[in-house]
């Protein structure tokens, strides 16, 4: 998604990253990824639960999809480091328009299961 950051901005979209990892772990993540978007910490995971992002199974988290994504990241020169927090916490993507209407609600079945950026851009008006 970061490769298409300018397209998102051109369409008036803002990105907010939500993490349940707080303190040094969140800071390290932002530094390691050179993340420029704002980050909100949801230690109690109430936002995760509200959007149906619960816990994955062993297969969801450590299955072949995850290994494929890790290989792609390594080929791009990125460092892959397992989370020191709860690796079974599922994530997702939620697109909310200025009127508060949810235009996209995607709950990942594992760390490698994300919507295509083209789908997100298509829904940004």
Concatenate the DSSP letters of all residues of the chain into one string.
-GGGHHHHHHTT----EEES--HHHHHHHHHHHT--S-EEE-TT-HHHHHTT--B--HHHHHSHHHHHHHHHHHHTT------SS-TTB--EEEEE-TTS-EEEEEE-SSTT----HHHHHHH--
The domain in which residue 26 lies consists of 2-123
Does pTM top 0.85 for this prediction?
no
How many domains does the structure of the chain reveal? 1
The CATH code of the domain that includes 111 is 3.40.30
Over its length of 125 residues, how does the chain's per-residue pLDDT go in tens digits? 888 889 998 998 999 999 998 888 888 888 888 888 999 999 999 999 999 999 999 888 888 887 887 788 888 887 776 666 788 899 999 999 999 999 999 999 887 788 999 999 999 87
């Amino acid at each position: 998604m970061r490769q298409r950051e300018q397209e998102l901005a051109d369409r008036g979209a803002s990105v907010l990253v939500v993490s349940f990892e707080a303190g040094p772990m969140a800071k390290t993540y932002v530094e390691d990824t050179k993340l420029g978007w704002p980050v909100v910490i949801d230690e109690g995971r109430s936002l995760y639960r509200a959007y149906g992002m619960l816990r994955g199974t062993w297969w969801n988290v450590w299955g072949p999809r995850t290994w494929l994504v890790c290989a792609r990241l390594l080929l791009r020169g990125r460092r892959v480091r397992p989370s020191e927090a709860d690796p079974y916490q599922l994530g997702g993507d939620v697109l909310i328009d200025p009127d508060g209407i949810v235009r996209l609600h995607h709950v990942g079945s594992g760390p490698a299961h994300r919507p295509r950026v083209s789908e997100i851009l298509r829904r940004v008006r």
